[in-house]
Amino acid sequence: MRRIYIKTLFFIAAAGLLALIVYSLIAFVPKPPAKEIDNARVALSKAFKSKADTYSKKLYTEAKANYDSAMVNWRKQNAKFIYFRKFDKVLKFAKLSTNKSKQAVESSNLSSSTYKSKLQDKIVSLNKLVEDITNYFNRYPLPKDTRNSISKGKLYLKEAEIDYSKGHYIPANKKLNDSEDLLSSAYDKAYADLEQYFKYYPVWKKWAESAIKESKQNQSYSILVDKLSKKCYVYYNGIKKYEFDVELGVNWVGVKKKMGDKATPEGNYRIVKKFSGTKYNNALLIDYPNDEDKVRFNHEKAKGLIPQNAKIGYGIEIHGSGGKGVDWTEGCIALEDREMEVIYRIVAVGTPVTIVGSMKNLQQILTR
């Protein structure tokens, strides 16, 4: 009886010992930081989705490197005997990776939204610049290289807009910068040219004011031509009665210097003759060249600024056949026929015609 009791006790002890051994085998296996690794992977994936690889490159690269280090270390530890494995480094790299990924997401969201809004602003501002260039310089005789820059700048802007709409902000930014360089330099060159031209603005202003004043004093008609805005204003009794579009000589910028230069003169003139049924329908001949023009012509000729065989021009008219949408005359001022008819009907020989570069100053015209 006692033997049976000892035997049973021995078996219970053996079973207990075996269970303890099995338990120890399982319980003392080091636990890998699987959850932390998964968190790191998810965070890294989120960072990639938020384009941190582009907008927060440094943090994203660090996060990725830490994740890779965690995995490499994990593999290294797994290669060891099961009870000798240590996962503290794996855990450290996984946590570091998660933190860096989170920072990368925040930084990327911030910089991509800032970046996006900056790009949007740039697109708007460049389109405004293109609009300004088109409005003010499309009919302004610009040098070929300036026109080239404008043209390329516009095309880069279009490409940038396409990239932007697809969310490709980095290439969009590059193209916007290229576009900005070209358009701004073209604008600046054209602006400098125009600024030079506008040195005469105080004179133009004086001419325009006295033309309007004269119309008021004499209770008569007065014609005012604004070359830059391509407008012809008809005043009566100091009040603007009509406003028409005009087309000018091909080289309309600046004063007329000599015959055949295709420039429209600037100055105070009067109608000296009215014609109807001419090549350009109704026409009003003005007294170009006036005394001032003759003095300037002789002075420039004497100084060698114009060729010695050059002749002073003549036959400048306000005539019909306009409305072509381009500057095409030899120096005359062309209006659409029906508008020319209005002027032809109301003005008489002796009516003053004042031709100025612009009635607005440069700041009023160019607001960037």
Partner 1 sequence: MKNKVFMGLAAIVMVAFLSSCGTVPQAQIDAVNVAIDSAAKVEAGTYLPTEFAAVQDSMKAIMADVEVQKSKLFKKFGPAKLKLEALLVQTNGLAANTAVKKEEVKKEVETTLTDIKTVIEENGKLFKKAPRGKEGAAVLEQIKTEMATIDAAVVEAQASYDKGTYMDALNKIKAAKERATGINTELKDAIAKVRR
Contact set with partner 1 (CB under 8 A): 14, 18, 21-22, 25-26, 29-32, 34, 37-38, 41, 44-45, 48-49, 71, 74-75, 77-78, 82, 85, 87, 138-142, 144, 147-148, 150-152, 154-155, 158-159, 161-163, 247, 250, 262, 323-330
- Taking the C-alpha atoms of residue 74 and residue 89, their distance in angstroms, rounded to an integer, is 8
Of 357, 280, 274, 279, whose CA–CA distance to 322 is shortest?
280
- Taking the C-alpha atoms of residue 12 and residue 327, their distance in angstroms, rounded to an integer, is 114
Nearer to partner 1, 29 or 305 (CB): 29
Bridge partners, residue 285, by sequence: 273, 317
Nearer to partner 1, 342 or 346 (CB): 342
Nearer to partner 1, 21 or 272 (CB): 21
- Taking the C-alpha atoms of residue 215 and residue 225, their distance in angstroms, rounded to an integer, is 15
- Taking the C-alpha atoms of residue 236 and residue 221, their distance in angstroms, rounded to an integer, is 4
Of 251, 248, 265, 254, whose CA–CA distance to 312 is shortest?
265
Pairing of strands 333-334, 317-319: parallel
Nearest approach, Cβ of 341 to partner 1 (angstroms)? Answer: 16
Beta-carbon neighbour count of residue 84 at 10 Å?
Answer: 8
Nearest approach, Cβ of 334 to partner 1 (angstroms)? Answer: 9
Nearest approach, Cβ of 277 to partner 1 (angstroms)? Answer: 20
- Taking the C-alpha atoms of residue 158 and residue 328, their distance in angstroms, rounded to an integer, is 31
Nearer to partner 1, 163 or 293 (CB): 163
Q: What are the backbone dihedrals phi and psi of residue 269, each rounded to the nearest 5 degrees, phi first?
A: -130, 175
Nearest approach, Cβ of 107 to partner 1 (angstroms)? Answer: 19
Nearest approach, Cβ of 270 to partner 1 (angstroms)? Answer: 26
Nearest approach, Cβ of 230 to partner 1 (angstroms)? Answer: 12
Nearer to partner 1, 49 or 311 (CB): 49
DSSP label at residue 264: P
Nearer to partner 1, 138 or 217 (CB): 138
